[in-house]
Structure 1
């Protein structure tokens, strides 16, 4: 039993009304009467990117909790406000998998999170790190009435057998240690399962589930909602999280080597552009030194554990981790996890790829096994054609995740649900692997665990031509859904019905057809990130700008997503074209997508970005950010405003 009383502590309600937020910060009494709570409080809001460069301890991060949103909450406000409970709305903890968001809660004095619904990665991170949470709003009244509530009972009623074992057993790493010492059992049923038709995700996870005899034979079937341990075929960590992973690993396992270094890679990608001349001096002063320190921690960890590393300080090609995983590592049927929420990018390879927090990755590094919740599957069936040949997967995924079902309805049905988007249909063959990876990359923005692409010839050709695999081997790896597999729903799309789509500032799910934002003035165009800087993306931007001049009002940055992309773009004349056009060309890296490179969305500016997130402050400043396709980005660089591609002369 874990008794908890409010006592002289307070409850912080994160309401949409900024004045009510400020009233609470300043100590004024406030009675919650169902005032609207902020939807989709992201981990970038909980702990902003700049603060994440400072370190990963409670002492460092606590004062930065919720700082920066609309300039209402300032440094140390929540920490000094004597709050022990935070109350949020739907989709609390959306976005990044950075576990420091949980650490920041603790550092600010928060002991209980109450929210209408909680995003998958954040909920798991709280479970593994033992921060109490609930979606039961009746506890608020009980606490205000002076009642003592049993926090353990709250968790007991909301966790699966596996996650109960983890939470009440001291957290994930303690549970992992006991598994290694044969002092703990896997608390899920192995025998007596009936083989049944399965989706792609269910098939992969059933095959990869760890069983008692460690035979590797997996299970005959799995069900949505089950929580299991699965074998990891690839694990990755980057410098934003590497220091935290290293600290957790050493505390739990000392200097014991990782389980299998052959399936582990380090990635120095998030901070590599922060020292660029185009980055504002204020940003460098705030982030550069601490970012360099975190990069050194990752480099040191990789050296200690003999883990190969990509990027500066390593011996492997540079690039954004997700692009590199697609280029070099992911295979059909694999289970892949990195300390980053955009790990689903690799799902384009017909595998199960998902983001995890630092604790879960530390567990995987030592044991080779990682926790997973079997998601329900929504099949996205795409057919038809775009008569203008200007529709991109960026338009398609922005249209999908902005649908009321993915934006919010699923949370109101079951706040604990997880889902995977399984993409199929004849229209997929129209797109390259680069383009299809945009679909899986942004599934997390629609509150999904991940996305997976059904077998298609584009993927087969990519693995044969780019990886040198034998076609027969690739076809043997492919994972098909059973014809009579059960889906949560089937979401049918005809490309002829989808407009060129943008996400308006504040959330990736704020979808609008471009016709509703035509003429919006733009100052900053950024072609960047694991989402929007592949070779195919750069080709589409080039098609839009070829034969035109850059608008005088536009600052434009192009950051290829990998060294391979940069080199291929240079061979095709794209890098020269961009330079002649007047764009800033950088080395590969995450850059301004996370506010760590050229193209930061400074105050008072409007940015058109090919990236994946536009939460306030996400791209390093308070400027407005529209998420757009490469065609729209390129045209905006010419016109200085958001323009419908159908009215523009696109040159091949």
Structure 2
């Protein structure tokens, strides 16, 4: 009989062809998807060429999404995208997403059914861990590993230890998934889960929709996690049924599985939270940040760019206008989110409020384009990182919040809560 294992250990064991694995063990796994974007794919393509193989191992299992600097902001970014485009065409890549059908990669691939439960996914982007919300093992890797993965369909891993975050009780009104994951990161620190699997369990997690679960798993890397993961349940099945293009497999942790640490979290302790510069772990209650005046608000990204996020922000800003000293930029994460916003009136709500609505792109999240900050400027963003210079000038500042707080702050001209709006 194999030893009791966690979800992550079971997925890795299955893909390594082993009956069991233990933390710290080095294993080689079959891959289900290899992902890269317009920043990382050109390097991966160059490394792929060095290997000497002519074809990727499976053109249906490589995903290339030009989303970071697209629509291209300058000549250099256009050249980057061209490398990806030409490689995708030459290789017959099934999952290549050009302008007009592309989206922010970590929102797009689940939406399009490219990833599913039980998969092992590597992506040359750190927020690949998003797909753990579907019950997959998904992790970011370097471009060299992605290039090797495209050539061989395999990758080496050290089996991570697992941490369990058991969240119980009901979240207070106005408290969402972004507040919860910021609360957790603030609690354990940016290296609190270094090269460990963050497994999220409990009745509170079970009550969350898929969009909220993706927000939580997306930011596992901000605590140093190797991956974030949530077990498959009815919410997951409903999302994947009729959507996921390949058969998927459920894995559940054994009751006796060993965890490096178990965190018990009472959902009632979580409040609307903001991460101050310059770390996602530098968290404070929003109620203590009302004196922070801002210049810009960004709603979007792979963390909070899905329709549910847009609806949450729109519900707050409806009937109000953006503060005259604030620029508000709204970026739906995919074309489908963009379309749904138009059809349900959310786009009009944002435009009526004085916000700018963009085509899908990572854009300002990484200081790419469409919202770069000048010296000394401050932004509230629903993104995932607020490092020094993340959105522009090294003296600028980024404050991370959920969509409702971001929308309220846009109206107020300073960080605040929806109830602060008159």
TM-score normalised by structure 1 residue count: 0.62
1:203 matches 2:35: no
Please name the residue that 1:346 is paired with. 131
Whether the 8 Å CA contact 2:115–2:244 is kept in 1: the answer is no
1:356 matches 2:141: yes
Please name the residue that 2:101 is paired with. 317
Please name the residue that 2:168 is paired with. 383
Please name the residue that 1:335 is paired with. 120
Count the aligned residue pairs: 420
Per-residue deviation, 1:464: 2.3
Matches of 1:638 and 1:409 in 2, distance apart? 35
Matches of 2:161 and 2:6 in 1, distance apart? 9
Matches of 2:20 and 2:245 in 1, distance apart? 33
After superposition, the C-alpha distances for 1:486-516 in whole angstroms (9 at most, x for unaligned) are 1111111111111111110111121111122
1:197-276 superposed matches below 5 A: 197-209=4-16, 218-254=17-53, 256-275=54-73
Question: Relative to structure 1, is the Cα distance of residues 550 and 465 closer, same or farther in structure 2, using a 3 angstrom cutoff?
Answer: farther
Matches of 2:316 and 2:325 in 1, distance apart? 17
Matches of 2:95 and 2:152 in 1, distance apart? 20
Per-residue deviation, 1:456: 2.3
Please name the residue that 2:177 is paired with. 393
Whether the 8 Å CA contact 1:429–1:457 is kept in 2: the answer is no
Please name the residue that 1:459 is paired with. 236
Per-residue deviation, 1:358: 1.0
- Structure 1's unaligned 5+ residue stretches are 1-193, 210-217, 276-287, 411-416
Matches of 1:406 and 1:229 in 2, distance apart? 30
Per-residue deviation, 1:396: 0.6
Q: Following superposition, which runs of at least 4 residues in structure 1 exceed 2 angstroms of deviation?
A: 308-313, 405-410, 464-469, 644-649
Please name the residue that 2:384 is paired with. 612
SS of the residue corresponding to residue 237 of structure 2 reads helix
Whether the 8 Å CA contact 1:225–1:418 is kept in 2: the answer is no
Name which of 391, 394, 407 aligns with 2:190.
Answer: 407
Name which of 408, 411, 416 aligns with 1:635.
Answer: 408
Per-residue deviation, 1:466: 4.7
Question: Relative to structure 1, is the Cα distance of residues 331 and 312 closer, same or farther in structure 2, using a 3 angstrom cutoff?
Answer: closer
SS of the residue corresponding to residue 342 of structure 1 reads helix
Whether the 8 Å CA contact 2:192–2:224 is kept in 1: the answer is no
Matches of 1:381 and 1:551 in 2, distance apart? 39
Name which of 539, 543, 558 aligns with 2:315.
Answer: 543
Moved more, 376-385 or 316-325: 316-325
Per-residue deviation, 1:297: 0.9
Matches of 2:12 and 2:28 in 1, distance apart? 9
Matches of 2:206 and 2:148 in 1, distance apart? 38
- Structure 2's unaligned 5+ residue stretches are none
Question: CA RMSD of the aligned region, Å?
Answer: 1.8
Per-residue deviation, 1:529: 0.8
SS of the residue corresponding to residue 39 of structure 2 reads helix
SS of the residue corresponding to residue 576 of structure 1 reads helix
Please name the residue that 1:590 is paired with. 362
SS of the residue corresponding to residue 380 of structure 1 reads strand
After superposition, the C-alpha distances for 1:435-483 in whole angstroms (9 at most, x for unaligned) are 11010000000000110012222111111265599xxx76xx2211111
Larger relative contact order, structure 1 or 2 (CA cutoff 8 Å, min sep 6): 2
Whether the 8 Å CA contact 2:122–2:128 is kept in 1: the answer is yes
After superposition, the C-alpha distances for 1:85-127 in whole angstroms (9 at most, x for unaligned) are xxxxxxxxxxxxxxxxxxxxxxxxxxxxxxxxxxxxxxxxxxx
SS of the residue corresponding to residue 144 of structure 2 reads helix
Whether the 8 Å CA contact 1:526–1:609 is kept in 2: the answer is yes
Whether the 8 Å CA contact 1:525–1:599 is kept in 2: the answer is no
Whether the 8 Å CA contact 2:390–2:398 is kept in 1: the answer is no
Whether the 8 Å CA contact 1:274–1:597 is kept in 2: the answer is no
After superposition, the C-alpha distances for 1:568-623 in whole angstroms (9 at most, x for unaligned) are 11111111111111111111111100112212222121100000011111113331
Matches of 2:260 and 2:284 in 1, distance apart? 26
Per-residue deviation, 1:340: 0.4
Please name the residue that 1:372 is paired with. 157
SS of the residue corresponding to residue 241 of structure 2 reads helix
After superposition, the C-alpha distances for 1:345-394 in whole angstroms (9 at most, x for unaligned) are 1111000000111111111111110121211111111111133x211111
TM-score normalised by structure 2 residue count: 0.95
SS of the residue corresponding to residue 60 of structure 2 reads helix
Matches of 1:620 and 1:269 in 2, distance apart? 18
Matches of 1:596 and 1:528 in 2, distance apart? 14
Matches of 1:617 and 1:274 in 2, distance apart? 21
1:568 matches 2:367: no
Name which of 517, 529, 547 aligns with 2:289.
Answer: 517
1:62-461 superposed matches below 5 A: 195-209=2-16, 218-254=17-53, 256-275=54-73, 288-312=74-98, 317-327=101-111, 328-387=113-172, 389-403=173-187, 405-408=188-191, 418-461=195-238
Whether the 8 Å CA contact 1:556–1:599 is kept in 2: the answer is no
Question: Relative to structure 1, is the Cα distance of residues 338 and 409 closer, same or farther in structure 2, using a 3 angstrom cutoff?
Answer: closer
SS of the residue corresponding to residue 126 of structure 2 reads coil
Matches of 1:478 and 1:346 in 2, distance apart? 14
